[in-house]
Structure 1
Amino acid sequence: MPEQSHLNAEIRDMLMDCGLFDTLQPGDFQTAAGYFSLSTIAQDQTIFSEGDAGTFMCILHRGVVSVRKTDGHGALAEIATLRNGRAFGEMAVLDGERRSATCVAASECQLLTLGKDSLDKMLNDAPRIAARIIRALAVTLSRRLRMQDGQRLA
């Protein structure tokens, strides 16, 4: 089991570094780390596609992710480029709806992933920590929406 505790420590450090969960207490990161997993995605690999069921969210630890949506002609158009520390896919995990965009690894990426099942388990096992994570994700989504609204007005 030393390998698992080393992996949990690595995930804990990544969660602390990403800056998304500043409201968590130092000990909370260790608990939360047990619910996340770590994966490496090859360049040009699709992480998920628009319309897929949203069963997990990601935090980009290393690499670049291209976010694409289908345009009026049925072609995928890039709408954003994500870099280190950025969460994505969280809308589908929080609301249970289908994916609103396609995400593709624009370079080799290292991702922290949190499955919907793991989030549900965390809500049962460690509700205070899960609530802080959900709140942090909601704040992130709110900021993103406000920025987008501001761009529309400009």
Structure 2
Amino acid sequence: MLMDCGLFLALTPADFSAAAGYFSISNIDKGQPIFNEGDAGTFMCIIHSGTVSVQKLNGEGKQVETAILRSGRAFGEMAVLDGERRSASCIAASPCYLLNLGKDSLDKMLNDAPKVAAKIIRAIAIAMSKRLRMMDGQVLAQQE
């Protein structure tokens, strides 16, 4: 299932084998929260199947959907890397099959298989950088 995730295109088949044991799998029913804004960030997810709604509280305390994530997309990775609280809520918009990587598992992988862990962290950093660049472009477009 990890091989289906575009996030990890730089990994070799041997890397996938080494990394697989550090991931867990979860089934989430439609409408179920995966995590809530403000929660401690202890894991990240990769959507194997299904869709996830990303929501934030607005100034009036109402949930506002900011994105819909589809298969292959990773989310929750910021909190795993920086240890901060969740910046948004993620709710299953349809039944979801998720691959999860906990912060503890990532730390263990750094000790056990540092080269594979470094490739995974690099892939996460690249994905986050692409999203930041895209957001920068959207902010600039709104100012014009």
Structure 1: where are the runs of 5+ without partners? 1-13
Structure 1 Cα separation of the partners of residues 113 and 63 of structure 2: 39
Give the Å deviation of 1:17. 1.0
Q: CA RMSD in A?
A: 0.5
**Corresponding residue of 1:7:** none
Which structure 2 residue ranges, 5 or more long, are not aligned?
none
- Map 1:93-132; keep pairs closer than 5 Å: 93-132=80-119
- The answer to which structure, 1 or 2, has the higher relative contact order (CA under 8 A, 6+ apart) is 2
Q: Deviations over 1:82-117 (max 9, x none)?
A: 000000000000000000000000000000000000
Match of residue 5 from structure 2: 18
Alignment of 1:58-97 (within 5 A): 58-97=45-84
* Residue in 2 that maps onto 1:28: 15
1:39-90 alpha-carbon deviations (Å, 9 max, x no partner): 1000000000000000000000100100000000001100000000000000
Counting aligned pairs with the same residue, the percent is 71
Corresponding residue SS for 1:91:
helix
Aligned pair count reads 141
| TM-score, scaled relative to structure 1 | 0.91
Compute the TM-score of the two structures, normalised by the length of structure 2.
Answer: 0.97
| Runs of 4+ more than 4 Å apart | none
Matched, 1:38 2:25: yes
* 2:86 partner SS: coil
Partners in 2 of 1:134 and 1:119 — Cα distance? 9
